Structure 1
Amino acid sequence: MGKKRGRDIEGNDPQVADVDKMDEDGDDEDFEIVNVDFEWFNFDPEIDFQGTKSLLRQLFDVDSSLFNMSALADLVLSQPTIGSTVKVDGKATDAYALVTVLNMAEHAQKEPMNDIAKYLVQKARTNDSLSAIPPLIEGGKQVGLIFSERLINVPAEIAPPLYSMLVDEVEAAVEDKEPYEFTHYLILSKTYQEVESTLDAGDRKRKKAREEASTFYFHPEDEVFHKHALAYGSFNYTKEDDVAADSKRAFQEMGVKSTGHMILIEAGKLPNAVEAVQKYLSPPQ
């Protein structure tokens, strides 16, 4: 692929310059505002391998061990004209966030995509709400698989510019006859539930707590995307039993159960969905 296309946004974005951080004295009652300048960069294979791999591993959670994450990071970095990283201390540092899209049909025979496609089909079949997904993937349709992830303390306000740039880059790639003319986008994400600790409850009580647990979103923009989606829903991780919720008891009384999440959006509806995300997450004037 050719040289990275130019961007209107590369560098500081005043929309997300201010981040709340706890005062370093450790007092829970005292907070201070710390100015953080987020910068947007193109993917660079010479710099971004470890940071990209780390964020992708975080996105796949406990199931990341099922895939060759190094190969997946290499695949992401092989298309530097598509997607963005967000950093704080200059280009040579690891990313705090990223977004990109891969053509599932174009890369279907490559190891990471082949394994991930089978995984997503299998997981979609565990939830009737996701029934539209397997025929698209197995039928070799032009599905763009979106990876969007950020460190847990990075503000959600960085999501709109990330997605806006992605839409623009895909449009430019299509104009250049590159394989990004998608019929659908499939966003891979995560949700979580607060579940009662196994140290304090019997089997019956735990089951009831799970049934009544509310779903929360690591990425607030997902709830906006739902309104524009053809299908969306969550699924259990294959290796969820490898990590017990009780390991988090040092931080909170309730455990946290992460689940995978998929959102299927028709390609023509993504720009409007991104505009809606922009309105939802825009900082107050």
Structure 2
Amino acid sequence: MPRQPSRRHRRPRPPRAFSSFARSVARIGIGSSSKVKKLSSPALERRALSKSPDNGFSKHELKEKIERAESSSEEDNEENVQADFAFFDPKPSDFHGVKTLLQTYLDVKQWDLSGFVDLILGQTTVGTVVKIEDQEDDGLFSIVSVLNLGRYKKNKCMAEVNGFLLKLCEENDASVNMRVLLTKQACNVGLLISQRVVNLPPQLLPPLYDALFDEVSWAIEDEPTEELRESFRFKYYMLLTKIYERKSANKGKGTSSNDELIIYAKPEDEIFHKLSSWSFDFPIRTQEITAHELRNYNLKGLVMAIEAEKVPSFRQELQSLINGS
């Protein structure tokens, strides 16, 4: 009998005070594109597919009319472009797509990224990749998964991740907390990996994260051995992501009152950050092409630890952010 997503009957809580950037991304889908054509039209119709019935999810449709971000006048020059996205379990043929998405996961560090990708793809019960429907082998738009730090600690790639994080925390106030999670509590910590192309429609985010956390819950009940079941009973999630921080020289005079101190590369990271038990940022050397609007910002890394009991709040707030409620 296929697994079914859990039903939630509670009404979403009122949204938190999200940054203007996060709300703009959530509402208008800045930079959204289909696989074959960049969207510059003022209207868009998309169907977001949760995992296929074979994997226990029902197909549902999300329709969103997205208004042009740069609106000078409301013309009748509208164009409908449909892109069908599907959620799939990871498989070996996704190797190159996942590796490309995670190319700068540890900044410019040379490490066993291939081994890391193998761990992600080898864990098929928890984790999701997003592709175009009916074009399963032609491109990968997102990867979301979570790996138990203790379960995989003997793997070279995970040891290198731990070493990277421990080196970072030496100069941060969170060093004690980080060391505890990476050593004594490693078996209770899930490294949450979430990477995607920059223009993936934000309407996909709630079902994508719902799929991940539902699968974690199911794994606790359904995995064939007690050891495997316990490996998904997380107490903490740890995230390694990127943010844009306003340059110190521009924090005083000469800056607009609308300028955010921090801009989150992924809007959901703002929610994770607010819910985190602790966090710290760090300078990175990765060179990325940034929009003109970000010329006064520095790209930085961000490490966060979130208690697993905060996941329901995260899911509700993500729905609020994306739906604009």
Amino acid paired to 1:258? L
Q: Distance in 1 between matches of 2:312 and 2:294?
A: 41
Task: Tell me the secondary structure at the aligned position of residue 38 of structure 1.
Answer: strand
Residues 1:131 and 1:153: Cα distance change in structure 2 (over 3 Å):
farther
Per-residue Cα deviation, 1:156-188 (whole angstroms, up to 9, x for no partner): 232221211111111111113322111211122
Aligned residue number for residue 147 of structure 1 = 193
Shift of 1:252: 6.6
| Structure 2 residue runs without a partner (length 5+) | 6-49, 53-58, 70-76
**What secondary structure is seen at the aligned counterpart in 1 of 2:207?**
helix
Following TM superposition, by how much is the alpha carbon of 1:191 offset from its aligned partner in structure 2, in angstroms?
0.6
The separation in 1 between residues aligned to 2:138 and 2:65, in whole angstroms, is: 20
Going from structure 1 to structure 2, the CA distance change for 1:145 and 1:16 (only over 3 Å counts) comes to: farther
CA RMSD of aligned residues (A): 3.0
Aligned to 2:115: 71
Q: How does 1:241-280 map to 2 (within 5 A)?
A: 243=287, 254=295, 257-280=298-321
Relative to structure 1, the CA distance from residue 19 to residue 76 in structure 2 (aligned partners, 3 Å threshold; closer, same or farther) is: farther
Deviation at residue 133 of structure 1 after TM alignment: 2.0
1:40 aligns with 2:40: no
Structure 1 residue 221 corresponds to structure 2 residue 281: no
- For residues 67 and 158 of structure 2, the distance between their equivalents in structure 1, rounded to whole angstroms, comes to 37
Identity %: 27
Identify the match of residue 124 of structure 2 among 77, 80, 84.
80
Which of 1 and 2 has higher RCO (CA within 8 Å, sep 6+)?
2
2:91/2:122 contact within 8 Å kept? no
Quote the offset at 1:91 in angstroms.
1.9
Is 1:282–2:323 an aligned residue pair?
yes
Judge conservation of contact 2:166–2:175 (CA < 8 Å) in 1: no
Of the structure 1 ranges 123-132 and 263-272, higher mean CA displacement relative to structure 2 is found in 123-132
Which blocks of at least 5 consecutive residues in structure 1 are unaligned?
23-29, 196-206
Note if 1:10 corresponds to 2:55.
no
> Is the 2:129–2:141 Cα contact (8 Å) retained in structure 1?
yes
The 8 Å contact of residues 191 and 217 in structure 1, kept in 2 or not, is answered as yes
Deviation at 1:131, TM superposition (A): 4.8
Q: Does 2:167 align with 1:97?
A: no
How many residues end up aligned between the 2 structures?
Answer: 253
AA partner of residue 127 (structure 2): G
Query: 1:102 Cα deviation (Å)?
Result: 0.4
The corresponding residue for 1:189 is: 241
Q: Are the counterparts in 1 of residues 146 and 190 from structure 2 also a CA contact under 8 Å?
A: yes
Q: 2: CA distance between counterparts of 1:271 and 1:99?
A: 17
TM score, norm. by length of structure 1: 0.77
> How far apart are the structure 2 equivalents of 1:58 and 1:115?
14
Name 2:12's counterpart in structure 1.
Answer: none
Partner SS, residue 154 of structure 1: coil
Q: Distance in 1 between matches of 2:313 and 2:100?
A: 30
SS at match of 2:138: coil
Query: What amino acid is aligned across from residue 163 of structure 1 in structure 2?
Result: Y
TM-score (norm 2): 0.68
Offset, 1:94? 2.4
Matched residue type, 2:87:
W
**Deviation of 1:248 (Å):** 5.8
| Aligned-partner Cα distance in 1 for 2:209–2:238 | 13
Deviation, structure 1 residue 155: 2.4
Q: 2:212 aligns with which of 166, 184, 192?
A: 166
Aligned partner of 2:161 in structure 1 is 116
